[in-house]
Structure 1
Amino acid sequence: IKSKSSHTKIKGIAATEFPLIPKIEKEKTIEVPANLLIKGINKTIFACSTNIARPVLAGVSFKTEGKKLILATTDSYRLSESQIGLDKAAEEITCIIPAKTMVEVGKVFPKNKEMIIIQLSSNQIVFNQDGIILTSRLIEGQFPDYRPIIPRGIKTKAILNREELIRAFKRVNLFAKENNYNVKLEINPGENLLNITTESTEIGEEKAMVQAVVEGEEKTVALNSQYFIDVLINLDKEEVELQIESKLTPAIVISKGEKDYLHLIMPLKIE
């Protein structure tokens, strides 16, 4: 490589040394719009586990049910599920895709409405769109059945402005990080407020108040504030909905009125 001010030599390797791209014996095929798939990845990937001791949690559950593709992730402390509508009923598919692979899918494929053709064999998956091909092995094992832990008897709902809530949690986090991000949330229907408080730490404490539209009972729960920020920055609507059943069941966080997405945060012990 030459220019007026430099002369660079880069040593290469013979093309024959490059590993062959494996060809899979395709068993099942599904087509998904790229923009919807990437949106689903972005709204779930952050909840994957980074603990290699449990490989099935270090991946994304990829499952079809009729005309729906369901992506799900969990690290056992939180869970994200995104449902993507399909043009037609798909073949029955259940597999676990490595989180790193799904991150790459979000990077290399354009966020357009063109279809990504996904082909699967027993242990491999291929993503293909207009000559861009990404191949990956699948994770062996069975993704945990998370449906039983989804709260069904919601007692309290609070509608909040997403940006205001992010700012409040970021202020609280300055102190909560000294206590493993443990914060207390108090939902007050009488005053239409969400109060977020930390315990007193060596560097101080914080109480943030966020206006809300509250339906139901007064509730107090303890949650991880960083987990809250992680989901809030990946939602795309102005208002979010916080749903609580009890202090012992997971909190649900979604965009207001959203039906195709679910995020659960497991409760912490209230001191």
Structure 2
Amino acid sequence: MKFVVSSSELLTHLQAISRAISSKSQLPVLDCFLFDLKGYELSMTASDLEVTMTTRMATESTEGDGRLAFPSKILLEILKKLPEQPLRFEANLDTLTVDIFSERGKYNFVGQPAEDYPSIPEVEEDKASKIRVPASLLLTGINKTLFATADDELRPVMNGILFEFSPENLTFVSSDSHKLVRYRRLDANCAFEASFILPKKPASLLKNVLPRETGDVEIEFDNKNAFFNLPNYMLVCRLVEGNYPSYNAVIPHDNPNKVVIDRIDLSNTLGRVSIFSSQSSNLVKLHLTSNEVVISAQDIDFSISAFEKLNCQYEGQEMEIGFKSVFLADILDNISSDDIVIEMSDPSRAALILPIEKSENEDELMLLMPMMINV
């Protein structure tokens, strides 16, 4: 098989799917990209058995259809160091040899049989559900929740994003038991109720390619796998098995103490003060009064401490509450609103962090568990 493609365009497509390849693969063929040429369309696939990603691009000229697995490391290193130019590929499907001709040189290597490459799972039609979601909406939902997923070998259901579909909305949920994010879109719904847990790796792959896509993403899923069909990419992944914990049960509803504060000011202040927190606990304290919050931290072992005062609007009883600074910083970095409201009941119960500015179709809630303050 022979074809001609743009070097930079090929690199862009291969880099996007290369993240699906595992560095610890047990099968040598999984260190390769599977190239499949049909007419003037070239499809390329990368997989680690759990996640498979395919992309398509047009070729400038072709001669003969065919399938062959190309070694990913060699191909990526060549393309990264080449300026933009047309490349001519000539692959002998009998001997598995591949020649790449550039403007000033030739590169030769040996591929692997396409027959050795694992086949892509197929959806079970009788158990499948299908929904279309705008690419921008799906990207926002993943961006809002991915950071709060866990790395818990004992509870794998916490290591992904929960997708909940209903006639009223589409909800994205993630939690690592310290922080929880629930992002709900009222402008996306479907005629049925269903849910699945998307693992962290395919969520990260989608986060990488969705900014380049426009239009709708077709999501099709059964009990085992989810299929994301994008205009230029397709991602297939095995879903996390099990039931997600009842997250609504941990969201407190009676929170009389509320503080409205500038998110950027709070984030910057937290970044400075947390330098002085204990390396083992990362504890920062927020002391709240009517129009002021004092953010403080100390490390007794090194005899260092710091505090800063910030103006705020606070309604409720004077109180002091402690948080792990890195978790609070993560939440503040992932809220787009300039001003936020923090709702609390007492120093021992979870605090809710909500955006002030949001669209009418968004319902965004972030929850953070407090730390015990040693008096």
Q: TM-score, normalised by structure 2?
A: 0.67
8 Å CA contact 1:109–1:132 kept in 2: the answer is no
- Structure 2, unaligned stretches of length 5 or more? 1-99
Pair 1:16-2:119 in alignment = no
Indicate conservation of the 8 Å contact 1:68/1:84, yes or no: yes
Structure 1: where are the runs of 5+ without partners?
A: none
Displacement of 1:3 after TM fit? Answer: 6.1
Matched, 1:107 2:107: no
Asked if residue 85 in structure 1 is aligned to residue 186 in structure 2, the reply is: yes
CA drift of 1:18 comes to 2.5
Match of 1:255 among 349, 355, 364: 355
Runs of 4+ in 1 over 3 A off after TM superposition: 1-11, 86-90, 110-113
Matched, 1:151 2:252: yes
Note the C-alpha offset of 1:153.
Answer: 1.1
Instruction: Please state if 1:241 is matched with 2:241.
Output: no
The 3 A distance-change label for structure 1 pair 112 and 20 is closer
Q: Which of 206, 215, 224 pairs up with 2:324?
A: 224
Deviates more, 1:229-238 or 1:15-24: 15-24
Deviation at 1:8, TM superposition (A): 4.2
For residues 112 and 30 of structure 1, the distance between their equivalents in structure 2, rounded to whole angstroms, comes to 17
- Select the structure with the greater relative contact order (CA < 8 A; seq sep ≥ 6): 1
In the superposition, relative to structure 1, how do residues 136 and 221 fare at CA in structure 2: closer, same or farther (>3 Å)? same
1:269 aligns with 372
Are the structure 2 counterparts of residues 13 and 177 from structure 1 closer, same or farther at C-alpha, using a change threshold of 3 Å? farther
The residue number in structure 2 matching 1:72 is 173
Letter in 2 for 1:36: L
SS in 2 for 1:199: strand
Paired position in structure 2 for 1:171: 272
User: Is the contact made by 1:63 and 1:71 (CA closer than 8 Å) also made in structure 2?
Assistant: yes
CA gap 1:2/1:114 in 2 versus in 1, 3 angstroms: closer
| Deviation for aligned residue 1:9 | 3.7
Sequence identity, in percent? 28
Deviations, residues 220-250 of structure 1 (Å, cap 9, x unaligned):
1111111111011111121111111111110
Partner of 2:124: 25
Higher strand share: 2
Alignment partner of 1:260: what SS? strand
In structure 1, what residue type is equivalent to 2:247? Y
Aligned CA distance change for structure 1 residues 172 and 11 (closer, same or farther; 3 Å) = farther
- Alpha-carbon distance, 1:5 to partner: 7.8
Q: Do structure 1's residue 124 and structure 2's residue 225 form an aligned pair?
A: yes
Partner of 1:209: 309
Cα deviation, 1:96-126, whole Å, max 9, x if unaligned, reads 1111111111112236662111101111101
Please say if residues 32 and 117 of structure 1, whose CA atoms lie closer than 8 Å, have aligned partners that are also in contact. yes
Q: Shift of residue 267 of structure 1?
A: 1.3
Query: How do residues 15-54 of structure 1 correspond to structure 2 at under 5 angstroms?
Result: 15-26=114-125, 27-54=128-155
C-alpha distance in 1 between matches for 2:102 and 2:309: 60
Amino acid at match of 1:58: N
What's the offset of the Cα at 1:12? 2.5
Distance 2:212 2:346 in 1: 39
What letter matches 2:279 in structure 1?
E
In the alignment of these two chains, the number of paired residues is 269
- The one-letter code matched in structure 1 to 2:370 is P
Find the aligned partners of 2:190 and 2:150 in 1 and give their Cα distance.
Answer: 30
**1:24-62 CA distance string (max 9 Å, x none):** 124111111111111111111111111222101111111
CA–CA distance in structure 2, aligned partners of residues 126 and 112 of structure 1: 16
**Which residue identity does 1:61 align to in structure 2?**
L
**2: CA distance, partners of 1:32 / 1:177:** 44
Q: 2:299 aligns with which of 179, 190, 200?
A: 200
Distance 1:108 1:203 in 2: 47
User: Pairwise CA RMSD of aligned residues?
Assistant: 2.1
Amino acid at match of 1:81: R
Q: 2:5 corresponds to which residue?
A: none
Contact 1:30 1:91 in 2 (8 A): no
Residue 140, structure 1, aligned to residue 241, structure 2: yes
Q: Is the 8 Å Cα contact of residues 38 and 111 (structure 1) preserved in structure 2?
A: no
Q: Is the 8 A contact 2:174 2:180 kept in 1?
A: yes
